[in-house]
C-alpha cells in the first residue's frame, strides 16, 4: 500500500499552492502601493490611523500583561508604558493630520541626522565601501532637507508616499519569491517524474541454497 503521507507529488502540489498564495499576496500589496501612490493624501491618513490602532491595541495588551504580572518589580513601569501607548493611540486616531505633521518632521530629522553620520563616518573611516556610504549619506541629507523645506505642507503626502513605496517593493519581492518558488518546484517535479516512470521494480532476490519447488 502506497504511503500518501510522504508522497512527493502531493508535497510538490502543496508547495506550489503555497507559493501561489504568496504571489497573490504580493500582487495585492503591489495594487495597494500603486493606489497609495495615486492617492497619497488618503494613504497618509490611512497609515496614521493604522499606526494609532496598533498603538492602542499594543497598549491594551501591555496593560493586561502588566495586570497579570502585578507582583513583579516592573509592574508600574509596564503600566506607565502601556498607558502612554494607549494615550498616543487615542491622539493619533483623533488627530491624524496633525500626527502626520509631527511624524513628517521626525522622519526629516531622522534622514538628516542619519545622512550626516554616514558622511562623517565615511570620511573618517574610509573603508572598502567608502563611495557607497558617501552616496547614502548625501542622499539622506538631501532627502531630509527636501522634507524640511516643504514642511508642513508636504506632510499630507510624504508619509503616504513612503508607505506606498514600502508596500510596492514588498509586494514585488513576494511576487518574485512566489513565482520563483513555483518554478523551482515545477522543475523538481518534472525531473522526478521521468525517473519514476522508467524505474522498474527489482526482482526479488532468491536464495541459491534454497531448493526449488
pLDDT tens figures, 64-82: 888 877 777 677 788 888 8
Q: How long, in residues, is the chain?
A: 213
First vs last Cα of the chain: how many Å apart?
A: 29
What confidence category does residue 31 fall into, taking pLDDT thresholds of 50, 70 and 90?
A: very high
The per-residue pLDDT for 162 is 86
Q: What is the residue range of 125's domain?
A: 9-193
What confidence category does residue 54 fall into, taking pLDDT thresholds of 50, 70 and 90?
A: very high
Does residue 3 belong to any structural domain of this protein? Answer: no
Does residue 86 belong to any structural domain of this protein? Answer: yes
The residue-averaged pLDDT of 126-136 equals 76
Q: Please tell me whether residue 74 adopts helix, strand or coil conformation.
A: coil
What confidence category does residue 141 fall into, taking pLDDT thresholds of 50, 70 and 90?
A: confident
The residue-averaged pLDDT of 169-192 equals 79
Does residue 181 belong to any structural domain of this protein? Answer: yes
What confidence category does residue 210 fall into, taking pLDDT thresholds of 50, 70 and 90?
A: low
How high does pLDDT run on average in the chain? 80
Does residue 206 belong to any structural domain of this protein? Answer: no
Q: Read off the pLDDT of residues 81-116 as tens digits, 9 standing for 90 and up.
A: 888 989 988 998 998 888 888 888 888 888 888 888
If we measure between CA atoms, which residue out of 176, 181, 171 comes closest to residue 14?
181
If we measure between CA atoms, which residue out of 52, 71, 5, 32 comes closest to residue 160?
32
Does residue 213 belong to any structural domain of this protein? Answer: no
Number of domains in the chain: 1
Cell of 43: 494613504
Does residue 209 belong to any structural domain of this protein? Answer: no
The per-residue pLDDT for 1 is 47
What confidence category does residue 37 fall into, taking pLDDT thresholds of 50, 70 and 90?
A: confident
Specify whether the CB–CB gap between 171 and 27 falls below 8 A.
yes
Does residue 14 belong to any structural domain of this protein? Answer: yes
Specify whether the CB–CB gap between 88 and 55 falls below 8 A.
yes
**Alpha carbons 137 and 212: distance in angstroms, whole number:** 86
Does residue 139 belong to any structural domain of this protein? Answer: yes
Amino acid at each position: 500500500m502506497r504511503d500518501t503521507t510522504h508522497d512527493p507529488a502531493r508535497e510538490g502540489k502543496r508547495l506550489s499552492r503555497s507559493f501561489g498564495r504568496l504571489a497573490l499576496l504580493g500582487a495585492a500589496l503591489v495594487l495597494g502601493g500603486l493606489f497609495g501612490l495615486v492617492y497619497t493624501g488618503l494613504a497618509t491618513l490611512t497609515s496614521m490611523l493604522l499606526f494609532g490602532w496598533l498603538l492602542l491595541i499594543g497598549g491594551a495588551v501591555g496593560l493586561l500583561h502588566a495586570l497579570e504580572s502585578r507582583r513583579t518589580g516592573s509592574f508600574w513601569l509596564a503600566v506607565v508604558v502601556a498607558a502612554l501607548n494607549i494615550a498616543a493611540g487615542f491622539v493619533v486616531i483623533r488627530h491624524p493630520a496633525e500626527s502626520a505633521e509631527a511624524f513628517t518632521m521626525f522622519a526629516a530629522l531622522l534622514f538628516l541626522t542619519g545622512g550626516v553620520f554616514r558622511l562623517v563616518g565615511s570620511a573618517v573611516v574610509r573603508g572598502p565601501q567608502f563611495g557607497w556610504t558617501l552616496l547614502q549619506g548625501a542622499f539622506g541629507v538631501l532627502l531630509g532637507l527636501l522634507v524640511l523645506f516643504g514642511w508642513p505642507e508636504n506632510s499630507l503626502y510624504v508619509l503616504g508616499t513612503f508607505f506606498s513605496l514600502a508596500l510596492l517593493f514588498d509586494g514585488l519581492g513576494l511576487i518574485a519569491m512566489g513565482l520563483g518558488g513555483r518554478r523551482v518546484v515545477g522543475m523538481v517535479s518534472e525531473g522526478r517524474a521521468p525517473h519514476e516512470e522508467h524505474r522498474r521494480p527489482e526482482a526479488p532476490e532468491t536464495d541459491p541454497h534454497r531448493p526449488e519447488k
